[in-house]
Amino acid sequence: LQGDVGSGKTVVALLAAAAVTEVGKQAALMAPTEILARQHIKTIAPLAERAGLRVAILTGREKGKERREILEWLDAGEIDLLVGTHALIQDDVAFKALALAVVDEQHRFGVRERLALTAKGEAVDVLVLSATPIPRTLVLTYFGDMDVSELREKPAGRQPIDTRAVPASRINEVMEAVGRALSAGKLVYWICPLVEESEAEGTDHLTDATKRFESLQKRFGDKVGLVHGQMKGTEKDRVMAQFASGEIGLLVATTVVEVGVDVPAATIMVIENAERFGLAQLHQLRGRIGRGSESSTCLLLYREPLNEMSKARLAVIRETTDGFRIAEEDLKLRGEGDVLGIRQSGLPGYRIARPDVHGQLITQARDEALRIMKDNPKLKGERGEALRCLLYLFERDEAIPLIGAG
Q: Quick one: average pLDDT of 318-322?
A: 89
Segment 61-114, tens digit of pLDDT: 888 899 999 999 999 999 999 999 999 999 999 999 999 999 987 667 777 788
pLDDT-wise least confident of 98-107, 254-263, 269-278, 286-295? 254-263
* % of the chain beyond a pLDDT of 90: 40
Q: Which secondary structure element, helix H or strand E, spans residue 30, and what is its range?
A: strand 26-30
* % of the chain beyond a pLDDT of 70: 83
Q: Is the pLDDT of residue 347 over 70?
A: no
Q: Is 73 strand, coil or helix? A: helix
Domain residue extents for the chain: 2-151, 161-334
Fold that domain 2-151 belongs to in CATH: Rossmann fold (3.40.50)
pLDDT of residue 214: 94
pLDDT of residue 196: 64
Query: What's the rounded Cα separation, in Å, for the pair 121 and 100?
Result: 9
User: Same topology for domains 2-151 and 161-334, yes or no?
Assistant: yes
Q: Is the pLDDT of residue 256 over 90?
A: no
pLDDT-wise least confident of 6-15, 191-200, 213-222, 273-282? 191-200
Segment 226-235, tens digit of pLDDT: 998 888 878 8
Segment 27-66, tens digit of pLDDT: 999 998 888 888 889 889 999 989 899 999 998 888 889 9
Query: What's the rounded Cα separation, in Å, for the pair 41 and 183?
Result: 33
pLDDT of residue 166: 95
199 pLDDT tier (thresholds 50, 70, 90): very low
CATH class of the domain at 161-334: alpha beta
* Residue of 44, 11, 340, 32 whose CA lies nearest to 155: 11
Q: Is 90 strand, coil or helix? A: coil
Q: Is the pLDDT of residue 350 over 60?
A: no
pTM, 2 dp? 0.70
Cβ atoms of residues 108 and 256 within 8 Å: no
Sequential DSSP letters for 317-376: HHH---HHHHHHHHHHHH----TTSS--SS----SS--TTT-HHHHHHHHHHHHHHHHH-
pLDDT of residue 125: 93
Segment 8-26, tens digit of pLDDT: 888 899 999 999 999 999 9
